[in-house]
Structure 1
């Protein structure tokens, strides 16, 4: 059963220096035509029987809130009409940037039954915000969050980053203090990754980017895990923290290796056992929708072995880990049949814990997750 739907808006008013997502400057883009194509893609997918409305919806980007008020309202109405169902859709999230949130957009979100906001703050330090190419300030972020609360949004997730150029542990601590003052229900915190096709990648190649060392970054990560946990915001996935009961239901679909739709330019989906990818370019996406009703350019049938591997390395991202009984029910064979030697080796290294029918990362394993995940790949 397809449990979630991701909708991609690939437009931004500016490009952050670290971002490698599928995105384009919004100026002179065919916004109206793109949103109509997106509506047609969702309509085509939902016309196939049997169709079950997804339990979770997530609109990301790009920057969905970079759309003007009229286009944003069209998007809200479109997603609500095509995908939302009262008493079935449990979580409806949209990503927002502080600098382009306003009352009109908040009202449109309320009318469309959005019940969770993911707010891209990244840091509350004004110098670091400039350093990474963000356009908002500490104050505008706080004001946007306050405005969202006034409109009745009581499930807020804040995105933060660490390991930023020139960032100190004290600056991270100051951002976490701001988190306590705001009291969000969820926090996502990612270390800076330098990816190709980004401004930071080009700067790094030219020797013009100074990053904290690995030891400093590890100290930051350890501090934020302990700090948030001590204040009731518990780590439930390598990069995600929540007050119990407010874990991201949409992202749990990914980590539980369950199926989901992907709508929009460059969107990925997992549908009926196939990993699918849409055309990335906006015009190419719209042309495919017009000609065939969908924009898929890749469709990979996931093999039985790949499903098992994905179950392990995605499931172990969760702090709870992988349940052996669930694995047996899903794949009809015990984990030991595939991975007994691997498990024993990782337990001996202190990277994995095996207890009460569960496998999970140890404290050390959380810091060396990639080493653990690779061990489960053929």
Structure 2
């Protein structure tokens, strides 16, 4: 039963060199027509899979949602409220690039129900911002946060990146120090991954991209964990840290393998036991809507075996781990019977531990998370 919504806005005013998300340069795009189509998708979605209860989390991502005009973004936000029953306590997040939302736009968002922002800072080093092709300056992050707080949005998450080309530990320490001067409640921090169809991928293939060694990347990760912990931001997932009580509800939907609606071009969804992927290119997405269909590129009914795999490798991303009891209640089988020899093997290697019926990664397991997750793939 979906209690969450992901809405994708695929427009950007500038394309970052590392980004492989579904996105398009804003200029000359059919934005108003796209919004019309997303509203139509909302109507068809609730008809196909009616909500059985109030929506508890909404995440509007991109792209850059705030690259839209205030009136355009408002149409999408009010559309969500029109088609879906939204809980008064719902966590409602919008992604924001520093400097992309003025006071008027933020006040509109707050009035519509938005109560959380995810701000893409990435780094506080001006040279590194140029390297990754970001269009803001370090000081824009604080200015954006202050404007948000003045508009009544005080739950602020900041995205950071490390292992960037040419980034030293001094750069990373300085960025972490700048981050901790900000009034934020949540931090998401990810190492750079070179993805196909990005500028960085093209440079990497040509040998024109200098990246830190894996060992150095691990040192940066450990430095971040230590610094954020000392500042009172608890690590509740491999790459996410929060002031107690401000952990992301929406992210936990994914990590706990719960269902959610996916709306917009390129969006992924998981409803009624079926995973869906929408068409990414705007012409294909809009053509599907014009033909009276839901804009699915792919649909896949998730088998019980796949559900068990996802429950484990997604749930183990969280520091609290996974519950043996919940696993049995969902799938009517014990973890050890579903994955024979795997759990004992991970215990023996010191990558997995257990406390009061919950399995979780050890300190070593955090550094080798992908290796642990692969063990739970039965296929």
Give the distance between the partners of 1:271 and 1:49, measured in 2 at CA.
7
- Match in the other structure for 2:294: 294
Q: What is the CA-CA distance between 1:164 and the residue it aligns to?
A: 0.5
- On the 8 A contact 1:99/1:135 being kept in 2, the answer is no
After superposition, residues 243-322 of structure 1 pair within 5 angstroms as 243-322=243-322
Cα deviation, residue 68, structure 1 = 2.0
* Matching of residue 163 in structure 1 with residue 163 in structure 2: yes
Please report how far the alpha carbon of residue 374 of structure 1 lies from its aligned counterpart in structure 2 after TM superposition.
0.5
Report deviation, 1:188.
Answer: 0.1
CA contact (8 A) 2:351 2:361 kept: yes
Could you say which residue in structure 2 is the equivalent of 1:193? 193
Q: Please report how far the alpha carbon of residue 100 of structure 1 lies from its aligned counterpart in structure 2 after TM superposition.
A: 1.3
State the match for 1:75 in structure 2.
76
Secondary structure of 1:148's partner? helix
TM-score, normalised to structure 2, is: 0.97
Quote the offset at 1:111 in angstroms.
Answer: 1.3
Moved more, 50-59 or 363-372: 50-59
Is 1:176 the equivalent of 2:176? yes
Equivalent residue of 2:154, what SS? coil
User: What is the RMSD of the two structures over their aligned residues, measured on CA atoms?
Assistant: 1.2
SS, match of residue 157 in structure 2: strand
After superposition, give the CA deviation of every residue in 1:284-329 in whole Å (9 maximum; x if it has no partner): 1111112124101211011111011111100001111111011111
| Residue number in structure 2 paired with 1:366 | 366
Paired residues of 1:12 and 1:62 also in contact (CA < 8 A) = yes
Q: Aligned to 1:259, what secondary structure does the other structure show? A: coil
Match of 2:94 in 1: 94
Structure 1 equivalent of residue 117 of structure 2 = 117
The offset of 1:141, in angstroms, is 1.7
Q: In 2, Cα distance between the equivalents of 1:243 and 1:199? A: 35
Match of 1:141 in 2: 141
Q: Distance in 2 between matches of 1:164 and 1:7?
A: 28
Asked if the contact 1:76/1:108 (under 8 Å) is kept, the reply is no
Question: What is residue 106 of structure 1 aligned with on the other side?
Answer: 106
For structure 2, the 5+ residue unaligned runs are none
Aligned match of 2:61: 60
Of stretches 44-53 and 61-70 in structure 1, the one that deviates more from structure 2 is: 44-53
Aligned partners of 2:74, 2:86: CA distance in 1, in Å?
A: 18
SS of the residue corresponding to residue 312 of structure 1 reads helix
Name the stretch that deviates more: 336-345 or 263-272: 336-345
The 5-angstrom pairing of residues 212-227 of structure 1 reads 212-227=212-227
* Aligned-partner SS, 1:134: coil
Distance across 2 between alignment mates of 1:342 and 1:322: 15
Give unpaired runs (5+ residues) of structure 1: none
Q: Which residue of 1 aligns with 2:232?
A: 232
Written as runs of structure 1 = structure 2, the 5 A alignment for 1:328-367 is 328-367=328-367
Residue 86 to residue 336, structure 1, CA distance change in 2 (3 Å): closer
Secondary structure of 1:172's match? helix
User: SS where residue 221 of structure 1 aligns?
Assistant: helix
TM-score (norm. length: structure 1):
0.97
Q: Hey, which bits of structure 1, 4+ residues long, moved more than 6 A?
A: none
CA contact (8 A) 1:233 1:243 kept: yes
Partners of 1:293 and 1:249 lie apart in 2 by 31
- DSSP 3-state at the match of 2:118: strand
**Greater CA drift, 146-155 or 364-373:** 146-155
Q: Deviations over 1:45-82 (max 9, x none)?
A: 12357423421111000110111232122222222322
In structure 2, distance between residues paired with 1:197 and 1:22 = 11
> In the aligned structure 2, how far is the partner of 1:143 from the partner of 1:9?
23
- For the residue of structure 2 that corresponds to 1:130, the secondary structure is helix
Aligned residue-pair number: 377
Q: Please name the residue that 2:324 is paired with.
A: 324
> What's the offset of the Cα at 1:86?
4.4
Answer whether contact 1:159 1:188 (CA < 8 A) is retained.
yes
3-state DSSP class of the match of 2:94? Answer: strand
Judged with a 3 Å threshold, the aligned counterparts in structure 2 of structure 1 residues 68 and 214 are, in CA distance, closer, same or farther, namely same
Deviation of the 1:108 alpha carbon: 1.3
| Corresponding residue number in structure 1 for 2:43 | 43
SS at match of 1:2: coil
CA–CA distance in structure 1, aligned partners of residues 273 and 47 of structure 2: 19
